[in-house]
């Protein structure tokens, strides 16, 4: 019985800690966390890279680099193409090259701290930003936000991209590019400016390098991982102890 009660208590405590850490692990930290050297505007320039072909997910793609590109800033939301509710990327488009979209802000949007009063959300191919009042909206510049379709067939680069979380400061290099699936005819272009809106306003980037400059909320994320593991172990042990306890009591 003491073991059973102990595991029951551990399960309750870990559940409570998991809920709290889940609420805090994706909070956007204060601007002081970030390196000002990696908050500058994106840099794009003419490219000498010719079109090239690659394979991903047993599909063949043609990549057409348009401009060389460098992006740095803070991830405020993201969308993974393999999300269970995404019916487009894999099922409809057979697009295994665009593994993740990241919504990034930089410059005065960070240094002013206005982002902490805002909410950001990625849907299948769009980033949405909203603010609580007109004053916050006036302080936020949509010219310092971009939603980025990230392309890679490289497992290491993909792992780096997928390790980025909300609030992390990132740096990437690559090409603004158009691409096509040579087997089904699916195509997608890219924006080359920050002041456009609507369909086609997102940047499509073939990524050659991806780095996380500063990780956000390390403590909360570690706590979330630990309490999640403890809760799972507790839930596995509980039915075992419940079945074993009556047998022990008869002796």
Can you tell me the distance from the alpha carbon of 145 to that of 192, in angstroms, rounded to the nearest whole number?
13
Asked if residue 11 lies in contact with residue 231, where contact means CB atoms within 8 angstroms, the answer is yes
Residue 85: pLDDT band with limits 50, 70, 90: confident
pLDDT of 6 over the 60 cut: yes
Please give the DSSP secondary-structure letter assigned to residue 244. Answer: H
Query: Which comes out higher in pLDDT, residue 166 or 242?
Result: 166
Please give the DSSP secondary-structure letter assigned to residue 13. Answer: H
Q: Is 58 left (phi over 0), alpha (psi -120 to 50) or beta?
A: left
pLDDT of 246 over the 70 cut: no
pLDDT of 10 over the 80 cut: no
Quote the pLDDT of residue 244. Answer: 75
Query: Which comes out higher in pLDDT, residue 1 or 80?
Result: 80
Quote the pLDDT of residue 84. Answer: 79
Residue of 149, 171, 153 whose CA lies nearest to 101: 149
Quote the pLDDT of residue 16. Answer: 82
| Strands, E assignment, the chain | 43-46, 52-56, 59-80, 98-105, 119-122, 127-130, 145-151, 169-181, 187-188, 203-214
Looking at 101-105, 170-174, 232-236, which range is the least confident one? Answer: 232-236
Can you tell me the distance from the alpha carbon of 70 to that of 239, in angstroms, rounded to the nearest whole number?
53
pLDDT of 248 over the 80 cut: no
Q: Scan for tokens 């665009």, then name that residue.
A: 98
**Packing angle, helices 218-249 and 2-24, rounded to 10:** 160
Arithmetic mean of pLDDT, 96-101? 95
Quote the pTM value.
0.83
pLDDT above 70 covers what percent of the chain?
A: 94
Arithmetic mean of pLDDT, 82-87? 80
- 205 backbone dihedrals φ, ψ, rounded to 5°: -125, 120
Which tokens is 210 given? 């991806």
Residue of 127, 211, 145 whose CA lies nearest to 174: 211
Which tokens is 141 given? 């510049």
Residue of 111, 102, 226 whose CA lies nearest to 168: 102
pLDDT in tens, 153-174: 999 999 999 999 999 999 999 9
Looking at 24-38, 60-74, 127-141, 229-243, which range is the least confident one? Answer: 229-243
């Amino acid at each position: 019985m003491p073991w059973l009660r102990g595991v029951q208590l551990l399960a309750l405590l870990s559940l409570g800690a998991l809920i709290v850490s889940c609420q805090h692990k994706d909070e956007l930290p204060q601007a002081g966390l970030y390196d000002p050297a990696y908050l500058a505007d994106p840099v794009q320039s003419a490219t000498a890279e010719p079109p090239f072909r690659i394979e991903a997910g047993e599909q063949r793609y043609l990549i057409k680099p348009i401009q060389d590109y460098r992006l740095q800033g803070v991830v405020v939301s993201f969308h993974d193409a393999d999300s269970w509710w995404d019916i487009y990327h894999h099922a409809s488009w057979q697009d295994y090259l665009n593994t993740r979209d990241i919504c990034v802000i930089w410059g005065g949007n960070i240094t002013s701290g206005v982002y902490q009063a805002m909410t950001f959300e990625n849907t299948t191919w769009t980033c949405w930003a909203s603010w609580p009042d007109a004053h916050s909206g006036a302080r936020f510049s949509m010219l310092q936000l971009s939603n980025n379709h990230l392309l890679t067939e490289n497992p290491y680069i993909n792992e780096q991209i997928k390790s980025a979380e909300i609030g992390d400061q990132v740096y990437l290099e690559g090409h603004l590019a158009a691409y096509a699936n040579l087997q089904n005819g699916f195509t997608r272009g890219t924006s080359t400016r920050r002041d456009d809106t609507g369909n086609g306003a997102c940047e499509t980037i073939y990524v050659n390098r991806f780095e996380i400059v500063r990780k956000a909320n390390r403590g909360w994320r570690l706590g979330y991982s630990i309490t999640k593991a403890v809760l799972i172990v507790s839930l596995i042990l509980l039915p075992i102890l419940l079945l074993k306890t009556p047998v022990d009591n008869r002796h």
